[in-house]
Amino acid sequence: MKSASTKRKSSVATHDVSVASALPWIGPALLLIILVVIWPVVELVRISFTDITIAGSLLDFHGFANYRELLANPDLYPVARRTLLWVFGIVFFTVILSLPLAQLINQNFPGRKYVRWALIFPWAASVVMTSMIWTWILDAYSGEFNLTLTQLGLIDEPVDWVNNPGSSFYVLMAVAVFVSIPFTTYVLLAGLQSIPNDIVEAASVDGASHWQTYRQIKFPLLRNALLIATIINLINVFNSFPIIWIMTRGGPGYETDTTTTFAYKLAFIESNMGQSTALGVFNFIVILLIVSLYLKLTKATRTEL
C-alpha cells in the first residue's frame, strides 16, 4: 500500500520536473556530448565552407567552393566506388562467415571455452597490431605465408600479396573481415542463445531435420541480432582507417584508398584542408543515414517484442 503511494508520488514528481532540476544529473553527459560530438561536427561543417590555408589559418567564407573542388576531383570517383565495395563486401563476407561460426560455438563440445577465447582474440587485439602482423605474415620476401606456399610447392616464387595490384585491395578486405568476425559472431551467438529451447525441441518432435530447424526456426529468430550486427558493422567498416593505412597507406597513388583514408590524405599529406573537410561532411552524412536506419530498425523491433 505504502509502496504504491510512493510510486504514484514519484511518477507525479517526474512530470513536474523542470529541465533545470534535471540538469545536474544529465549535465555532465550533455557537456561531454557537446564537447566531443556536437562541437567537432559544427567545426567540420564551418571549415568546409571556409577557405583554409595549409597552415590551418582560416580565411574567409568560401561558399560551396570546397565542395565544387572535391566533386571536380577526378580521383574521388574511383575511391568512392572502392568504398562501396569495401563496405558491402566486408560486411557480406563477415556475416556469411559469422553465421556458421556462431552456430559452432553455440554447441557444447570439449574445449569450447578455448575456441571462444581464440575467436575473440582478434577483437581484443589492437587493429594496428593485427594489421602489422598481417603485413609481416604476407611480406613478399620474408613472410611466413609465402614461405609456406613455396615449401608446399604451391607457388614457384614469392608473391607480393599486399602490393600486387590484382590482390592488394582484396587482401586488405580479408584482414578487415578477419577483424570484424569476432564481434559479429558474438552478437549472433547472443541471438542464438536467446532462442527458447522448447521451440527447437518442438520442431525436432515434429520431425524437422537440422537444416529445416535452422532455416525455418532459428534463422528467422536471429533476424534482430543479424540486423544489429550488420548495421554496426556497416558503420565500423565504413570508418575503418588503420588496416588500410598500416598495410598500404592507400597506395600506390589512391589505388587502395577508401573515402576515410582519402579524406586523411587530402588533409595531412596534400595539405588540402578544404576538400578534406568537404569529404568529411559527406562521410558524416553517410554515417548519419546508417545510424538513423539503425535507430529506426531497432525501434521497430523493440515495439514488436
Partner 1 sequence: MKKLTKRRIVALASLGMVASVLVAAPAQANTVTIKVVTPNYTDAMPAYYADLNARFMAANPTIKVEHENLSWDDILVKGRTYISTKSYPDVLNLNTFSEFAAEDLLYKTSDLFTEAKLSDFVTAFRDNSKYNGVEYAVPDLASARMFFINKALFYGAGNTKIPTTWAEVTAAAKKIKAKYGSRVYPLAIPLGSEEAQAEFQIWAGGNGGRYFNESTKKWVINSKENLETLNQLRAWVKAGYTQPNPASTNRTDAFKLFSQGRVAMINASVFFPSTLKDYKSKVDYGVAPFPSANASKKPITLGVQDYFMAFKKTGNKDAVSKYLNFLFEGKNYAGFLKAAGGFIPATKSASTEVDSSLLPFIEQLPNAIFYPGTLGSWGPVVAKITTQIGTGITKNPKTVLDSLQKDAEKAGTN
Cβ 177 to partner 1, closest distance in Å? 22
Among 114, 253, 302, 305, interactor with partner 1 by CB under 8 A: 253
- CA-CA distance, 176 to 174, in Å (whole number)? 5
Among 150, 160, 195, 297, binds partner 1 (CB under 8 A): 160
State in angstroms the smallest separation of the CB of 168 from partner 1. 8
Nearer to partner 1, 56 or 207 (CB): 56
Q: Cα(281)–Cα(16) distance, rounded to whole angstroms?
A: 40
Question: Distance between CA atoms of 257 and 133, rounded to whole angstroms?
Answer: 20
| Single residue of 65, 200, 217, 255 touching partner 1 by CB under 8 A | 255
> Residue 204: which of 194, 216, 192, 221 has the closest Cα?
216
Report how far residue 160's alpha carbon sits from residue 10's, in angstroms, rounded to the nearest whole number. 68
Interaction of residue 259 with partner 1, rule CB under 8 A:
no
Q: Are 259 and 243 in contact (CB under 8 A)?
A: no
Question: Burial of 166 by CB count in 10 Å (0-12 exposed, 13-18 middle, 19+ buried)?
Answer: exposed
Residues of this chain, 193-252, that bind partner 1 according to CB under 8 A = 248-249, 251-252
Q: Interface mask (CB under 8 A) for partner 1, residues 68-87, using x and -?
A: ------x-------------
Query: Which is closer to partner 1, CB of 106 or CB of 167?
Result: 167
Residues forming a β-bridge with 50: 61
Tell me how far apart the terminal alpha carbons of the chain are, to the nearest angstrom.
31
Work out whether 267 is an interface residue with partner 1 (CB under 8 A).
yes
Stretch that binds partner 1, among 52-60, 99-107, 185-193, 205-213 (CB under 8 A): 52-60
In the complex, which residues of this chain contact partner 1 (CB under 8 A)?
53-57, 74, 140-141, 157, 160, 162-165, 168, 248-249, 251-253, 255, 265, 267-273
